Chains A and B, each alone.
Chain A
Amino acid sequence: MTIPLTSEPPDRLPPWVFGLRPQVNLRSGGRRWQEVVALLILGDLHLVPPSQSTTTAETGLGIPPSWYWYVARTETVFGRTLSFWSTAAEPWLADERGVCPFDTGGLWHGFIKTRPPLADVAEKRELFGRYDLILSGWGPKFHLYLRENYPAPQAYVHGQYPAKGPTEILPAPENTSRAWTWEARVRRDATKGRLLLDRLYCLEEDRGEFLEWLIDNESFDLPTKKTITSWIEEHTVLCSHADLPWQRGQRDLLEFFGSA
């Protein structure tokens, strides 16, 4: 049997995607979006407070406080500012869990509809435990999932329902693509140095606003401000209202798989 070229695992791992939804952080911890962007660039993810809904889901599912990404997908609801992340090597501990083929917060809060419906906490935990994977070797597992579930990886990027699983999760219209988007997570106190921020997608006007805010900000010293400014100048993908960050990021993901 010949496997289409586009189904072959690429040499590079697909990026993890974090879309900024800062107002949630703002409500829980007083961080403004500009501060969140600065902390992302500095790799100080642990300083960005989690939302209450995230903490609730983590407590319920028994997940330690973590930072979350979608694997190789942009979502419109987290679409004004996006970031692509990579891991330089395989920095994971042997038993470190952190990859799940659906949005764990959505599962806990009941946004993901299943058949049969999950009656209680124990059933949610059981379903989560069944699909939660270790981080080590996540790339080959993800590519295997793509091969088994989609005619081409681009269908995953577009948010199409998987052919085989997870079988309990209902398709649209009961659910949206977040119910079958892979989620990666890393403990909040263990992200520094293990994840690399590769690029930021934002509107040109938001970049300007951010850099003006940075000049007047009193939390960072001048060398740190220069570091952040240089990073922004070199790594930002500028977008427009006619080609929003989530759209541009999605195109780059399609290209990633198309050219692999």
Chain B
Amino acid sequence: MSEENLFVWGIDGELAGNEGRLMACLPFFTREGAPGVFAARALDWSVDPERNLVHLASEEEALTLGDKLTLPSPFPIVPGFLVAVIGPMLVQSLMVLSETGSWGIDIRQSFMPSAEGFYVTSSHLVYYEWLGPHLASSAKAAFDQEISANQGATVTPAAEAALSILKGNPFTKLEELVVRRLIAARIKKDADAYRTTSELAAVRLKETPQKVDELVESHFRILVEKTPFGVRVA
């Protein structure tokens, strides 16, 4: 198959249920002059067309296997690339964060908005694996800065946005996410959320809930009191 004039039609998956996350999907694409939709089924979709490309005769057939992205203009894609998608809730959080100045990428310039409310780009795996951690580290820093700035008195909208970005980011380290989820629950005095998060985190981290609590306490002190041991430095 020619690598020219292939345009993103949709993704190998669904949009619903993924509104709050950054994800990468294999593309469904159209080829200029050819009827129907092609579905890539492996990252190296140019290597073995017989196996890795499925020709779906109609959009209706494609819709049974993936979701359409309605884009304002043809969006080119080439073999070996993924479709990176940012959900509308995550976009909203990024906007909140960008207003605080703690976020340096304008999603609206790098991604194309779809009618479904998602932002889309074609992405090499290497770029996706750069973007995800970059997003995560920015959000982590923004959350900590917000909590630190108000001495842990409240979870500001910017901190909420940062936490939301961390939750929806596949590159966020689990322990870092858990600690911030629990700090937010603690500040809000949401005991149910704290207990659920703590106990499930303990299962995932293979630690005791007590150990998880210690992690949270330690990090909270670092943020609020600026020292790891709760001793204020004069």
Interface 1/0 per residue, A211-222 and B, CB below 8 Å: 111110000001
Task: List, in ascending order, chain B residues with CB within 8 A of A206's CB.
Answer: 23
The answer to whether A23 and B66 have CB atoms under 8 Å apart is yes
Interface centre among B25, B43, B125, B200 (most CB of A within 10 A): B200
Task: List, in ascending order, chain A residues with CB within 8 A of B204's CB.
Answer: 211, 229, 233
The answer, among B25, B64, B199, B206, for a CB contact under 8 Å with A24, is B64
Kindly provide the distance from the CB of A228 to the nearest chain B CB, expressed in whole angstroms: 9
The answer to whether A222 and B196 have CB atoms under 8 Å apart is yes
Q: Does A205 contact B (CB under 8 A)?
A: yes
Distance in angstroms between the alpha carbons of A206 and B177 in the assembled complex: 16
The answer to whether B16 and A76 have CB atoms under 8 Å apart is no
The answer to whether A244 and B200 have CB atoms under 8 Å apart is no
Given contacts A215-B181, A242-B125, contact A77 B23 (CB under 8 A): no
Within 8 A of A (CB), among B43-69: 43, 51-52, 54, 64-67
The answer to whether B17 and A34 have CB atoms under 8 Å apart is yes
Distance in angstroms between the alpha carbons of A26 and B18 in the assembled complex: 13
Closest chain A residue, CB of each to CB of B203: A229
Interface 1/0 per residue, A26-55 and B, CB below 8 Å: 100000111000000000000000000100
Task: List, in ascending order, chain B residues with CB within 8 A of A26's CB.
Answer: 14, 16-17
Within 8 A of B (CB), among A149-175: none
The answer to whether B13 and A225 have CB atoms under 8 Å apart is no
Closest chain A residue, CB of each to CB of B50: A172
Q: Does A116 contact B (CB under 8 A)?
A: no
Given contacts A23-B66, A233-B203, A242-B125, contact A209 B21 (CB under 8 A): yes
Given contacts A23-B14, A76-B51, A247-B42, contact A226 B170 (CB under 8 A): no
Please report the number of residue pairs spanning A and B whose Cβ atoms sit closer than 8 angstroms.
87
Distance in angstroms between the alpha carbons of A59 and B54 in the assembled complex: 28
Interface 1/0 per residue, A14-31 and B, CB below 8 Å: 000000011110100000
Task: List, in ascending order, chain B residues with CB within 8 A of A53's CB.
Answer: 64
The answer to whether A22 and B195 have CB atoms under 8 Å apart is no
Interface centre among A22, A26, A241, A246 (most CB of B within 10 A): A241
The answer to whether B17 and A241 have CB atoms under 8 Å apart is no
Distance in angstroms between the alpha carbons of A204 and B125 in the assembled complex: 14
Given contacts A23-B67, A76-B54, contact A226 B41 (CB under 8 A): no
Q: Does B82 contact A (CB under 8 A)?
A: yes
The answer to whether B199 and A222 have CB atoms under 8 Å apart is yes
Total interface residues in chain B, CB < 8 Å: 39
Given contacts A53-B64, A76-B52, A241-B125, contact A215 B43 (CB under 8 A): no
The answer to whether B200 and A22 have CB atoms under 8 Å apart is no
Q: Does A79 contact B (CB under 8 A)?
A: yes
The answer to whether B21 and A77 have CB atoms under 8 Å apart is no
Q: Does A80 contact B (CB under 8 A)?
A: yes
Task: List, in ascending order, chain A residues with CB within 8 A of B13's CB.
Answer: 23, 80
Q: Does A230 contact B (CB under 8 A)?
A: yes
Q: Does B197 contact A (CB under 8 A)?
A: yes
Task: List, in ascending order, chain B residues with CB within 8 A of A76's CB.
Answer: 41-42, 51-52, 54
Distance in angstroms between the alpha carbons of A94 and B21 in the assembled complex: 48
Task: List, in ascending order, chain B residues with CB within 8 A of A79's CB.
Answer: 12, 41
Task: List, in ascending order, chain A residues with CB within 8 A of B42's CB.
Answer: 76, 244, 247
The answer to whether A32 and B16 have CB atoms under 8 Å apart is yes
Distance in angstroms between the alpha carbons of A23 and B200 in the assembled complex: 28
Question: Which residues of B line the A interface, CB within 8 A?
Answer: 12-14, 16-18, 21, 23-26, 39, 41-43, 51-52, 54, 64-67, 82, 125, 167-168, 170, 172, 174, 177, 181, 195-197, 199-200, 203-204, 206
User: 9 closest Cβ contacts across the A-B interface?
Assistant: A205-B170, A32-B17, A76-B41, A23-B14, A229-B203, A212-B167, A229-B200, A33-B17, A241-B43
Q: A205-B23, A208-B170 are in contact. List 14 more A-B contacts (CB 8 A).
A: A23-B64, A23-B65, A23-B67, A53-B64, A76-B51, A80-B25, A204-B170, A205-B170, A209-B168, A215-B196, A225-B196, A241-B125, A244-B43, A247-B42
12 A-B pairs, CB-CB below 8 angstroms? A22-B14, A22-B17, A23-B13, A23-B16, A23-B64, A23-B65, A23-B67, A33-B17, A211-B204, A215-B200, A222-B199, A229-B203
